Amino acid sequence: MPRIKIAPSILSADLSKINDEIKEVEKHADLIHVDIMDGIFVPPTTVDSDFVKTIRTKVPLDVHLMVHEPSDSYIRGFIDAGAYSITVHEEACKNPAKQLEFIKRNGVRSAISIKPGTALDKIKKYLKMVDMVLIMTVEPGWAGQKFIEPTMPKARELRMMRPGLDIEVDGGINPYTARISFEAGANVFVAGTSVFGKKDRPAAIKEILNALK
């Protein structure tokens, strides 16, 4: 299995002082998870590529596009903003191969995500094109939801199929659910409320890591 990575999600951070918020976690984080919502694929809207350009950190930016049919120019905005990886949703794209090819062609790590109710079979044909699969463990759109444990068989099957693949989980991740996810095969853990919702953010990350030992 690839190494464990912790990805604090700025969806639960104070965006008005985002760089101060990130400074509190960056020494302990492997990625900074950036949720982008367009109000179409999911009802809420969040930040855009111009906002991402204002982020100042050496921690790689893990950009998660909860966006309906993102165009090349839209994706390009996040590439130019410094994205290390970009995730698109199977459910949001008519042919995700188009977006994945564009991402990879521009030297950025590509990933595909599926919602809790989407079968793994839907993305098997894209697995050779991606560096990571994001399994949503809540319905996309809002922070603070309860972890959906019946998503875990997808992680197990995926780990058996692609032993070296990064498998990310996002939604309701805390020390307890991170352990459940890890045992199912996940190695990248998006933590929003369980990190930025705490006063001592480094201690919150360490608590998750300790649960994975």
- Catalytic residues, which ones? 35, 170
CA distances from 111 to 40, 87, 123, 141, 210 (A): 20, 4, 11, 18, 27
